[in-house]
């Protein structure tokens, strides 16, 4: 069988400006990056606290690689669970104020494994319609009755919950929405779920490290206990600057995941050196409050500047600052024009975001300076 059919499908994608392409970085990920030998100022990484290249984290990684080698070697349950994995789990449990935490190799797998370990076709899952793809995929895969509620709308959730009859009810939401940057109304969502005897799972990939006095994410920001928010997932490849993910919660939750989460059981553990580097990162996430303060100053400066330029921002208090463009073609051509001015900002198009809502997704990081934000605003002024 030939691949001609695929070739014409790919061509059709190109024609409507939806073709996805990769760029090859020849440098660290930000703020200054090198692509094809040319230097750019980048606003595309999720390294929100600027920790990915921190010398203490790099040193911890190198030392653990010397001591433990490079690969995890096997799954956690076979031979792949090292001292650093174990210590990191204990430290993440303490950090999040949960009884226990469990490491996964990445956030996508954490979501797939957790929801599928908890639910089957006797159950029902309720997801915000703007949830991350991995949560939507996980809910669909579980076979549970799958319902989406209106974005961050507790009434819409409540209506669906009150009609539900199933063995288990699970409400699932992003903590900070990855393409809009807004924060879920978790106190109301948790109250509503508790009132209907449903569990809540929050994917705090973009909140952990950034929100809360010690970087504890949405749970710390809103002061939500393990009882109110029983399933807390966080990723390590964003604010932590390393790689991987964790789920934190009760003893029973974590033991259930160890027994049943297939993406935990049947995959090689993350390299122990990544766990060691993440332990070093966790210390900095908690101690370096100045990174969050500086980030907030950048966010304010960027938002004020966009307002003056009359750019259409979304209601986001977080480092994810999308500029709404609408048309996918226009978003692509603005991204390209910014690139010509030496600034990298990714255009996000359907199906990642709803059609007609293509945007330039600016992400800010503590590794940026106020002068960097000024340069970005200047470039935006020239291409808008």
Question: Which residues make up each annotated binding site?
Answer: 20, 107-108, 132, 178, 206, 235, 352
139 is an interface residue for ligand PMP by CB under 6 A: no
Q: Find where tokens 């009810």 sit.
A: 169
Q: Closer CB to ligand PMP, residue 84 or residue 132?
A: 132
C-beta neighbour count of 262 within 10 angstroms: 12
Concatenated DSSP letters for 319-369?
SEEEEEEE-HHHHHHHHHHHHHTTEE-EEE-TTTS-TT-EEEEEE--TTS-
Our CB check for ligand PMP shows the closer of 184 and 253 to be 184
Residues of span 177-196 touching ligand PMP by CB under 6 A = 178
Rounded distance between C-alpha atoms, residue 304 and residue 302, angstroms? 6
Spatial CA neighbour of 138 closest among 157, 152, 154, 123: 123
CB-nearer residue toward ligand PMP: 88 or 377 = 88
C-beta atoms surrounding 3 within 10 Å? 9
247 belongs to the binding site for ligand PMP (CB under 6 A): no
Sign of CA dihedral 100, 105, 106, 109: negative
Residues 39-68 that bind ligand PMP (CB under 6 A): none
Q: Which stretch binds ligand PMP (CB under 6 A): 68-76, 118-126, 202-210, 351-359?
A: 202-210
With CB under 6 A, what is the number of residues at the site for ligand PMP? Answer: 13
Query: For residues 181 and 321, is the Cβ–Cβ distance under 8 A?
Result: yes
108 binds ligand PMP (CB under 6 A): yes
Shortest separation between residue 197's beta carbon and ligand PMP, angstroms: 26
205 is an interface residue for ligand PMP by CB under 6 A: yes
**Residue in 84, 132, 279, 291 binding ligand PMP, rule: CB under 6 A:** 132
209 binds ligand PMP (CB under 6 A): no
Q: Give me the least distance between CB of 247 and ligand PMP, in Å please.
A: 12
Could you list the residues known to form a binding site for pyridoxal 5'-phosphate, using ranges.
Answer: 107-108, 178, 206, 235
Q: Which residue is nearest to ligand PMP (CB)?
A: 107
- Measured from the CB of residue 132, what is the shortest distance to ligand PMP in angstroms? 3
DSSP 8-state class, residue 183: B
Nearer to ligand PMP, 61 or 108 (CB): 108
DSSP per residue, 288-300:
-HHHHHHHHHHHH
Stretch that binds ligand PMP, among 54-62, 101-109, 114-122, 191-199 (CB under 6 A): 101-109
Segment interacting with ligand PMP (CB under 6 A) among 13-21, 192-200, 201-209, 279-287 = 201-209
Length of the chain as a residue count: 384
Q: Which residues are annotated as a binding site for substrate?
A: 20, 132, 352
Tell me, rounded to whole angstroms, the distance of Cα 139 from its chain centroid. 17
- Least Å from the CB of residue 269 to ligand PMP: 14
Between 274 and 360, whose beta carbon lies closer to ligand PMP?
274
* Residue from the set 47, 123, 203, 220 that interacts with ligand PMP by CB under 6 A: 203
- 198: tokens are 């449903």
Tokens read off for 221: 């920001």
Of 199, 207, 362, 195, nearest in space to 292 by CA = 207
SS3 21: coil
Nearer to ligand PMP, 72 or 379 (CB): 72
Q: Which DSSP letter does residue 200 get?
A: E
Q: 140 with 123: CB under 8 angstroms?
A: no
Which parts of 342-381 interact with ligand PMP (CB under 6 A)? none
Write out the catalytic residue numbers: 178, 206, 238
Alpha carbons 88 and 79: distance in angstroms, whole number: 17
Task: Name the residues that contact ligand PMP, by CB under 6 A.
Answer: 106-108, 132, 134, 174, 178, 203, 205-206, 235, 237, 245
């Amino acid at each position: 069988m030939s691949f001609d059919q695929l070739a014409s499908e790919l061509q059709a994608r190109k024609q409507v400006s939806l073709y996805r392409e990769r760029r090859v970085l020849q440098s660290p990920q930000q703020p200054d990056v090198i692509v094809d030998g040319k230097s750019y100022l980048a606003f595309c990484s999720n390294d929100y606290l600027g920790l990915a290249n921190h010398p203490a984290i790099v040193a911890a990684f190198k030392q653990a690689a010397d001591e433990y080698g490079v690969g995890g070697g096997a799954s956690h349950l076979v031979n792949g669970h090292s001292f650093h994995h174990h210590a990191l789990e204990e430290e993440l449990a303490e950090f999040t104020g949960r009884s226990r935490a469990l490491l996964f190799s990445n956030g996508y797998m954490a979501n797939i494994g957790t929801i599928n370990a908890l639910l089957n076709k006797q159950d029902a899952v309720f997801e915000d319609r703007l949830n991350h793809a991995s949560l939507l995929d996980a809910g669909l895969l579980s076979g549970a009755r799958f319902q989406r509620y209106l974005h961050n709308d507790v009434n819409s959730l409540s209506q669906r919950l009150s009609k539900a009859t199933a063995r288990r009810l699970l409400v699932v939401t992003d903590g900070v929405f990855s393409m809009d940057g807004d924060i879920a109304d978790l106190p109301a969502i948790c109250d509503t779920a508790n009132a209907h005897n449903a569990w809540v799972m929050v994917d705090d990939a973009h909140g952990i490290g950034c929100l809360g006095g010690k970087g504890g994410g949405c749970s710390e920001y809103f002061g939500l206990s393990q009882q109110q928010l029983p399933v807390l997932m966080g990723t390590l490849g964003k604010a932590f600057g390393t790689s991987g993910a964790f789920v934190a919660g009760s003893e029973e939750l974590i033991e259930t995941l160890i027994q049943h989460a297939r993406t935990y059981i049947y995959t090689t553990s993350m390299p122990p050196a990544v766990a060691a580097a993440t332990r070093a990162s966790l210390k900095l996430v908690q101690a370096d409050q100045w990174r969050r303060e500086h980030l907030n100053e950048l966010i304010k400066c960027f938002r004020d500047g966009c307002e003056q330029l009359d750019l259409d921002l979304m209601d986001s208090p977080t480092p994810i600052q999308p500029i709404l463009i609408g048309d996918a073609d226009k978003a692509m051509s603005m991204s390209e024009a910014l690139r010509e001015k030496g600034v990298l900002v990714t255009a996000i198009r359907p199906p990642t975001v709803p059609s007609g809502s293509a945007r330039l997704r600016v992400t800010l990081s503590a590794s940026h300076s106020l002068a960097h934000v000024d340069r970005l605003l200047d470039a935006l002024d020239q291409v808008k």
